[in-house]
Amino acid sequence: MYTLLQLLADGEYHSGREIGESLGVSRTAVWKQLKKLEPLGLQVDSVKGRGYRIAGGLDLLCADKIKAAMDTHATQLLPDLDLKFTVDSTNTQAMQRAITGGREAYVCIAELQSGGRGRRGKSWVSKLGGSLCFSVVWHFENGVAALEGLSLAIGVAINRALQDLGVTGVGLKWPNDLLFDGKKLAGVLIEIAGDAQGSCQAVVGIGLNVNLQQAAAGIIDQPWTDLLTISGTRVDRNLLLGGLLNEIAAVLTDFSATGFAAYQREWMSMDALAGREVIVMQGETQIVGVSAGVDPAGALCLDTADGRQRFHGGEISLRRVHS
Ligand code: BTN
């Protein structure tokens, strides 16, 4: 399937014979393989006498192109880029490496996830050629407590990479969402393996909507957006992923020494809910207040009727005023 996609990625017509010869299969087998592309959200045009094409082409990931976009620091720190066509979840793959591997960093990238996971047991929807789904394994020495605020710092890193490509106006929503115009653009899922008090590995999983089109409409259970909608132009996913790895490598390198405090000011400057009336959910409990940013540890600050409260976990949402 991957070879077929690589052939059709240019958006040009390819005859059944040419495809068959490239894949070393019969015309019937070609047709069967082409049929399998539709459930992946790809529109295959077929014109008699010309052959088949993927309308608009397909922007496939390429390890060499990603590496070419990485700076020296990131290349040294993240030399192991494992680009897979399809996996269940890059976080699950990366977690296996975190458990069995040594202290080396590792990056798992996938074109397709069959079981992409979001926070709180939700699934993460992505589209072939239209998303970025990847996970970075990074070793830390000082236990889980020292990782508080890491997902917020990663949000800052993602936003820096987007700004480098000219994408501005993206906001951060505590603790791990990137929003544009109130709609979800990207999310971060961090999972930990190892000793909760000492030497441990963080799996930092990132999902970003690049060009989901209508494939995702009706599947994603919350308002969403993608980079194509925001910027009006196609973003080169290889270039973007290289830039993301540059910024993420920088944050991961510094975080052990600085903690979240070094990113607090920048995070606050992009706080999508600052000054808004919100509800914080902690289990079954709902606390209403005005969102007042985050403290140096990355805890959410909420001004409530009982004064300022801090939250180290939970979910925040805008309070809807009923008329
Ligand atoms: C969230 O917003 O709930 C977090 C979403 C994280 C999704 C990414 S996609 C790459 C990595 N693999 C997964 O299964 N999940 C994360």
What separation in Å is there between the alpha carbon of 45 and the centre of ligand 1?
A: 32
119 part of the active site? yes
In angstroms, the CA 169 to CA 270 distance is: 8
CB 207 within 8 A of CB 186: yes
- How would you classify the pairing of strands 183-194 and 51-54? unpaired
Count of residues making up the chain: 323
Pocket-forming residues, ligand 1, beta carbon under 6 Å: 89-91, 113, 116-119, 122, 124, 133-135, 176-177, 187-189, 205-207
- Shortest-distance Cα residue to atom 7 of ligand 1: 207
Smallest Cα–Cα separation from 27: which of 40, 14, 38, 41? 14
Sheet holding 131-140, edge to edge: 81-87, 106-113, 131-140, 200-209, 183-194, 177-180, 171-173
CB 302 within 8 A of CB 317: no
Smallest Cα–Cα separation from 140: which of 222, 94, 203, 210? 203
- Shortest-distance Cα residue to atom 10 of ligand 1: 133
- Tokens standing for 237? 């996913």
In angstroms, the CA 133 to CA 112 distance is: 8
What separation in Å is there between the alpha carbon of 188 and the centre of ligand 1?
A: 6
- Tokens standing for 131? 């998303």
- Shortest-distance Cα residue to atom 3 of ligand 1: 118
Atom of ligand 1 minimally distant from the CA of 120 = 3
DSSP state of 232: S
pLDDT 10s digit of each residue in the chain, 323 long? 888 999 999 999 999 999 999 999 998 998 899 998 888 888 899 999 999 999 888 989 999 999 999 999 999 999 989 999 999 999 999 999 999 977 899 999 999 999 999 998 999 999 999 999 999 999 999 999 999 999 999 999 999 999 999 999 999 999 999 999 999 999 999 999 999 899 999 999 999 999 987 666 667 878 999 999 999 998 999 999 999 999 999 999 999 899 999 999 999 999 999 999 999 998 889 999 999 999 999 999 999 999 999 999 988 998 876 55
pTM above 0.85, yes or no: yes
In angstroms, the CA 162 to CA 158 distance is: 6
319 part of the active site? yes
DSSP state of 213: G
pLDDT of residue 219: 75
In angstroms, the CA 72 to CA 51 distance is: 43
